[in-house]
Structure 1
Amino acid sequence: MHTVEEIVSRMSSQGLRVTDQRRTLAKLFSDTSGYLSPKDVYEFMGKTYSGLSFDTVYRNLRVLEELGVLEQVMFEDGVKFKLHCSEHHHHHHLICLQCGLTHPIVFCPMEQTAVPDDFKVVKHKFEVFGYCKACGSEVEVKGESGL
């Protein structure tokens, strides 16, 4: 689901009204390969739609996540969103902290997790943060250490 029309179709099929603002939001994520913070989205949308509130932007990001259009990841500097990746099976991610390059991890650590009988897992997330080869070279040159 990477084109604007695929995103709009998903919204519509789930009963969400497709407004100009939501179409613009779909285009923004379709055109962006990395992660966007709610503030990034708010600032972008505010250029076209004056009077748009941050709460409205955030609510729409949450709705699109619930529909499976967006993925939400918690970075050290806050939550960010990107288009749901094209992998069609359960997986997790390796994420570059500098450029946002994301690779799927097909092994799920939950398979090796001892869950107590009195605990019911309903959802889980697992992301590994670091630097891709290109950004890792830049980090070494700058003298920064890894995680």
Structure 2
Amino acid sequence: MHTVEEIVGRMSNRGLRVTDQRKTLAKLFADSPGYLSPKDVYEYMGRTYSGLSFDTVYRNLRVMEELGVLEQVMFEDGVKFKLHCREEHHHHHLICLQCGHTYPITFCPMDQTAVPEDFRVVRHKFEVFGYCKDCAQDEASATQA
């Protein structure tokens, strides 16, 4: 899911109305390499669509997540969304806190998790946060200066 056309096509195939607002939202995420907070999206959309409510933006973010177009990640400063990566198999991520670069984790830690017999897992998330090589070097340089 990387192009506006693919995103709009998925909306249409699922019977959603493809409004100008949803097309703009699709373009925003197709053009954004990193994570966006609902506030970021609201401010961007508000420049084009006066009177747009935060609830409408958030509802559309949720719809796009349910369609598998967006991924939601909980950061320390709140929830953020990014375009769903092209990996089709189940996986998790290493996420740089500085630049937002995301690396796939090629195995699922749930496979090594002892789940009690009286608990049924229905979904899970596993993200690891840290600094990529470039950002770690930038931070080390800044502290040495």
TM-score interval for Structure 1 and Structure 2 normalised by the shorter chain: over 0.9
- Residue 94 of structure 2 aligns to a residue in which SS? strand
Q: Which residue of 1 aligns with 2:2?
A: 2
CA offset digits 1:62-120 (Å, max 9, x no partner):
11001100000000000000000000100000000011100100111100001011100
Quote the Cα distance in structure 2 between the aligned partners of 1:10 and 1:69.
8
Shift, 1:16, TM fit: 1.0
4+ residue stretches of structure 1 with deviation over 4 A? none
1:120 alignment partner in structure 2: 120
The alpha-carbon deviation at position 140 of structure 1 amounts to 1.3
Aligned-pair identity (%): 80
Report how far residue 141 of structure 1 moved: 2.0
Match of 2:83 in 1: 83
SS in 1 for 2:117: coil
Aligned to 1:34: 34
State the alpha-carbon separation in 2 of the partners of residues 21 and 85 from structure 1.
22
- The TM-score normalised by the length of structure 2 is 0.97
Query: Which amino acid in the other structure matches residue 115 of structure 2?
Result: V
State the 1:143 CA deviation: 2.7
- Matched letter for residue 82 of structure 1: K
In structure 2, what is the Cα distance between the partners aligned to 1:143 and 1:86?
36
Are residues 1:105 and 2:105 paired? yes
User: What code does the residue aligned with 2:120 have?
Assistant: K
Query: 5+ residue gaps in structure 2?
Result: none
Question: 1:14-60: per-residue Cα shift (whole Å, max 9, x none)?
Answer: 11110000000000000000000000000000000000000100010
Q: Structure 1 length normalisation: TM-score?
A: 0.96
